[in-house]
Chain A
């Protein structure tokens, strides 16, 4: 089975994000990047399917010089090859433009399944997976918490408010992965050494026309200074009084 996994390198979740003075970008100096957490579930699912059925796991990323460094971890996790589509600078790009670039590259290779994290934690847009699917004319299932493949058929579970739905369909299909799908592996030292021999292909690409653009970044509104009501249970009546008075409860 040939599996494509679309991945992204993003600022780590505990990074402090500073906005540039022109309010157009974020300061990237000393910003720490890592593999998007949701992509780890996609890679792990792909490697498990490869272990079950054989085949290849191809990781592909739209990235840039600074961010791409943390992508190599997927090779140690079991991906066979990494394709880096290099932009001059990657950022909060339009989902449509991103999906077009990824779909263009994927389409040139044989594949049975495409996996992605359900969202990148920087943009948080959750649209690229479905868009790639539609560009390639494939069905998609987003945010899956359970996934299996049996004889060319995919079975995947997605959570809704009040129910879980189990969908079934033939390969190829696009799946985006939710936390809880699996437990991503920690590569051993041997895996890390072996990964050094794996192929990394870098191609320069240009972003197509964006359907919408970010024109201004700003910090969220600051919260007014809070008040410590007191210590222990003695402070509880005052809290309840305040919340009742404000109509919050």
Chain B
């Protein structure tokens, strides 16, 4: 019984979330006498394909063409169909990101198969497949029984501890028709969004700001601290709703649920829906002027104080240790 993991490359390198999905897929496959197969679709994939072997993929399918650089559901599904005609995995795992939700759901729809998004855990006990998800914005964890196969599962980033399992991988190139078959939806334009920072859901470190920053210009302070740590920038709902920062930065039940190694909450009091969204962070640091703020009840480390004094001191201290 085989497992297929869909992988994503960013600037030619395998994303961390993809490596995590491979790590998980390898563990499940080898414990259940199956093999791990991977698939990558896109452009500039040769390095990422080689990396898949490092994480245990024995067969690495690659559909590489410049016309596949940007996500187009129907074209990507055509590639999937080619692979699923040759392989019959009982689990298809994806690292969760904006394209994989669409692919997983479209494939699951075709087979009326289970589709479980944003899993934080997956195990096979006595041939029973069990997934874990966070529900109610992270306030509850749910155990899900998957009696029906194949199942399509997307995994939340930072949910699996990476482990290398180098194997001899067979790279299988998939023929990409040129031009691609016509699709109903057309990609009309691509607008690159320039950011030097990692994405919120994949970042190892997140620095987030809330009402305590007092005005939109002061979000710069959050960005400066983030840059000194190579971190992503997050925001509470209140400053997003106030229009101080774009919603792409929002963390919490109506924003992104995150699981970084380190979450630094600056001037965030800690509304329940925000706390739920960061409950899987491995370490939470809170900087807040109000000693009674609920954020201190979940923080591993807290500093009570004015963020306009503490953040610059923190940036300076980090610089001294660099």
Contacts and interface: CB of A to CB of B under 8 A. Distances in A.
Contact of A159 (B186, B188, B248): B248
Of residues B10, B112, B273, which shows the largest number of chain A Cβ atoms within 10 Å of its Cβ?
A: B112
A226 B116 contact: no
Contacts of B299: 226
B184 A240 contact: no
B303 A127 contact: no
A233 to B, nearest CB: 4
Interface in A27-65: 37-38
Contacts of B186: 167-169
B304 interface: yes
Contacts of A164: 190-191, 193
Q: How large is the interface on A (under 10, 10 to 19, 20 to 34, 35 or more residues)?
A: 35 or more
A246 B136 contact: no
Given A161-B10, A237-B317, A14 B116 contact: no
Contacts of B167: none
A141 B136 contact: no
B185 A239 contact: no
Given A169-B185, A232-B303, A134 B314 contact: no
A167 B305 contact: no
A170 B185 CA distance: 8
Given A163-B70, A165-B187, A232-B309, A127 B301 contact: no
B106 A134 contact: yes
A38 B253 CA distance: 11
Contact of B109 (A125, A135, A224, A248): A135
B82 to A, nearest CB: 19
A214 interface: yes
Interface in A209-249: 211-220, 223-224, 226-233, 235-237, 239-240, 242-244, 246, 248-249
10 contacts: A38-B254, A130-B102, A163-B70, A166-B188, A223-B284, A226-B296, A230-B304, A233-B309, A239-B285, A248-B283
Interface of B: 10, 70-71, 73-74, 97-99, 101-102, 104-106, 108-110, 112-118, 131, 133-148, 151, 183-193, 195, 199, 202, 205, 229, 240, 246-248, 250, 252-255, 257, 261-262, 271-273, 279-280, 282-286, 291, 296-306, 309-310, 312-314, 317-318, 321
Given A96-B114, A130-B106, 14 more contacts: A17-B140, A19-B140, A96-B112, A96-B113, A96-B115, A127-B108, A131-B115, A163-B193, A167-B185, A212-B145, A212-B146, A227-B301, A229-B301, A231-B304
